[in-house]
A and B are shown apart, each in its own frame.
Chain A
């Protein structure tokens, strides 16, 4: 047997130890480096947009009246470092960001970072529940459609997912709020808790989790019932997205030889689908989950206002409508970094799931 002597297991581990790095560690280091570069890119974008793009950044920061006074303007320029060369300004900007200084809101005169930190848990709770809903429903529908390819179920699911991708989220939010709260009173109204309820002691900032940790079951039920409607509205688009991508990923896998081989082994259909098909489709599906998070974060800006959900989305909506530039930039920066972080997590998951990345 010529091939049995040289291609067993001894050559490859030796190579890996010679380089001195675990393959997974090397892979993760690369991905982390790319993510950090992207974060710098994001700060560059917000820097350019804050300091260069507005027709008059001074006026944008000071407001019209103050900007008319040359003395105030000169003082402001000096104070803000606007009289220094651009690279220096950028370095100063980065320095301020590193200390957590995102500027001061033009509207509330409060530090943007403080306001975003206050709003963050609400959005995190909403987005996490929405992404969970999307994954469960989207992957299930996509799998079902792929297994029933070209039959009635497939066509129906396809049409439904296209509708999900076509509905303007902010309009759907308004419609659902009107129907289920205002008319039918099935779901409670706006906010994260009923007006009479007292927020659970702060641990994570997620009311559902915190109320459970504190053992307040009625508070948990209240928080959950407030959460469901906005989360469903937010999830509809991503359900459509995930359904379509899961369908095509599963179809790709169904055509692979290893599925035919699994069937030839006489395994029950259930085992073939869960163990072979779904696992094969997992990597592309996870990629799409990462991307879907982007749509979700976008969606919060359009949905939260309608439900008076005091999160980053509502903050961004108010900031945008009032043209509060520092606040808008702060949201852009934070959401961009969160999104990069999520996609880095997706890369980590890849490495954990796929042995071809994990072991070499």
Chain B
């Protein structure tokens, strides 16, 4: 609980994200590839919504479409409603003002998603100073608070260091701190533990759970790992070939899958029992 600002995020205001009929095509010259064929996913505040599926199923593209970071030639249609507005219709300028502020992301490999030549302090404060108009001292204060919140030891010292001086697990905590810096309402987590050592995965997952509960953030968890999914997600949507084939709460989906594809995914797990993190951790 240490370090969480009481005024940080009143849970009642967080509206969550609602994706309806999301379609995505990528046009390259004459060829048109349909990536998403009408996705419906609800990402309510204070809950973790899982998006499962193997690589190429379109789960990452769903997250990228929501935050407007798609490759050249992408054409979207449908709705991604956030705070009463359709994110897909926003101008690049307005979308950029939301990114990192109200909607933030964490990526798979923290050693790649953090710039190797910019100090942790620099990377933790630059968007804060841009979005929140914080001064230097204010941003520094907030940065220390954030690192304390994600349990990085000796925050003051850590701010002066560079990414190569940390382990993968620590870096992912720092990446989470960066994502949370401006009190976002929605957090898109793209395979947040896949690149990490198995021994530190549980810690990062537990942190995400706690932040979701404490701060009331809507988290969209994208992962191919049903073990991670069953440990963390409240509801799970299973994707295949650009479509959601099954949605439900995690016990339903994991214990009694309806769709044969979901069954196949679960059977592929090494043990059917997943790591299971307690919801009321700490």
Contacts and interface: CB of A to CB of B under 8 A. Distances in A.
Interface of A: 1-5, 7-9, 12, 256-258, 260-269, 271, 275-276, 279-280, 282, 353-356, 359
Contacts of B164: 355-356, 359
* Pairs of residues from A and B, 6 with the lowest C-beta to C-beta distance, nearest first: A266-B100, A266-B99, A265-B100, A257-B112, A7-B167, A265-B127
A263 B126 contact: no
Contacts of B69: 260, 263-264
A99 to B, nearest CB: 44
Contact of B118 (A12, A256, A264, A279): A279
Interface stretch (B2-10, B146-154, B270-278): B146-154
B165 A359 contact: yes
B96 interface: yes
Given A7-B166, A8-B153, A265-B104, A353 B117 contact: yes
Contact of B112 (A7, A256, A275): A256
Nearest to B196: A3
28 contacts: A1-B203, A3-B170, A3-B197, A3-B203, A4-B151, A4-B169, A4-B170, A4-B203, A7-B167, A8-B154, A9-B154, A257-B107, A260-B69, A261-B105, A264-B69, A265-B126, A266-B130, A275-B126, A276-B115, A282-B117, A353-B117, A355-B116, A355-B119, A355-B162, A355-B164, A356-B116, A359-B161, A359-B165
Contacts of A9: 153-154, 157-158, 161, 165
Contact of A280 (B115, B119, B151, B162): B115
Nearest to A2: B199
A12 B162 CA distance: 13
Contacts of B100: 264-267
A271 B130 contact: yes
Contacts of B240: none
B178 interface: yes
B165 to A, nearest CB: 7
B162 A356 contact: yes
Nearest to B166: A7
Contacts of A7: 166-167, 169-170
A276 B101 CA distance: 19
B170 to A, nearest CB: 6
B183 to A, nearest CB: 13
B200 interface: yes
A283 to B, nearest CB: 8
A360 to B, nearest CB: 8
B200 A265 contact: no
A27 B161 CA distance: 19
A251 B69 CA distance: 17
Contacts of A279: 115, 117-118
B107 to A, nearest CB: 6
Interface in B24-72: 67, 69
Given A1-B203, A355-B164, A266 B113 contact: no
B115 A258 contact: yes
Nearest to A258: B115
B131 interface: yes
A258 B114 contact: yes
A3 B169 contact: yes
Given A7-B166, A355-B164, A356-B162, A266 B115 contact: no
B227 to A, nearest CB: 18
A159 to B, nearest CB: 22
Contacts of B161: 9, 359
